[in-house]
Amino acid sequence: SGDALLGIINDVLDFSKMEAGMLKIETADVDLLSALNDSIDLMQERATAKGLQLHLELADQLPAHCRSDGLRIRQILLNLLSNAVKFTETGSVTLAAARENDVLVLRIIDTGIGITPEQHAKIFNPFEQGDNSTTRRFGGTGLGLAITSRIVQLMGGRIDVESTPGSGSCFEVRLPFQPTQWAPAASVQ
C-alpha cells in the first residue's frame, strides 16, 4: 500500500512539473544496456508473482551507450513495463530494443487484455484509462501513460500503440539516437 501511494504521489508531482513547464530533460552519456537490464530486473518479481515470462530482446546493432536522459529513459520503460505486467494475466511481456539509423526504438509487447480502437484515442490523456471497469479491476490513476507520452515528446520522440482486445498490446517509443564516445574508466594497475 505504501509503495502504491508513493507511486501515485510521484506521478502527481511529475504531472504538476510538466503542467508548470518545470520538467527538464538532461543530456548525458547513458549506459543503455544497464538501463534496459535494470528496468527488466525491477519488474521481474511482479512478473514472476503473476506467472508471466519477462523477456529482453536486444537487436544486434544496438549500441551499449548513447547520449540522452538516462533517468527519463528508465521512467518511460518502468511506466510501460509496469502497465504491461499489470494488464497481462497470462503469457509474457517483452522489452525489445533496437537502433534504426538515428532512432532508438523501444517496444513493450504484452499478451494482455488489449485496448479497443475507441480507447486508443484517450489512453494518453491525464486521468484516463480504458474504461471504468479497468480502473476498478486493475487500479491506477490514469497518469502513467500521460506522463510517459509527455516525456517522450520533451525528448523529441513519439509513442504509438498497436493493440487487439484480448490479444495484447505493443507500445513503441521512438527517441532520437545520439551516439557517444563512451570510454570505460581506466583500469588501475
The CA angle 7-48-106, to the nearest 5 degrees, is 65
Q: Phi then psi for 152, rounded to 5 degrees? A: -60, -45
Scanning 87-126, the segments in alpha helix (DSSP H) are 117-120
* Cα–Cα distance for residue pair 146/126, rounded to 1 Å: 5
Other C-beta atoms lying within 10 Å of the C-beta of residue 1: 5
Distance CA 123, CA 120 (A): 6
Residue 183, pLDDT score: 53
pLDDT, tens digit, 9 for 90 and up, residues 149-183: 999 999 999 999 999 999 999 999 999 999 987 55
With contact defined as beta carbons under 8 Å apart, do 35 and 75 qualify? no
Task: Give the per-residue pLDDT at 146.
Answer: 87
Q: Provide the grid cell at 33.
A: 544496456
Give the pLDDT of residue 3: 53
Burial class (CB within 10 angstroms; exposed 0-12, middle 13-18, buried 19+) of 124: middle
- DSSP state string for 70-90: HHHHHHHHHHHHHHHHHT-SS
Q: Output the pLDDT for position 139.
A: 54
Mean pLDDT of the 86-91 span:
95
Residue 22, pLDDT score: 63
The residue type at 116: T
Residue 175, all three cell numbers: 527517441
User: Comparing 128 with 100, which gets the higher pLDDT?
Assistant: 100
The whole-number average pLDDT for the span 129-133 is: 52
164 alpha-carbon distance from chain centroid? 19
Q: Give dist(CA 94, CA 186) in Å, integer.
A: 35
Q: pLDDT tens across 71-85, in order?
A: 899 999 999 999 999
The pLDDT confidence band at residue 189, using thresholds 50, 70 and 90, is very low
Per-residue pLDDT for 141 more than 80? no
Rounded average pLDDT over 27-40: 95
Across 49-56, average pLDDT: 97
Residue 153, classed as helix, strand or coil, is: helix
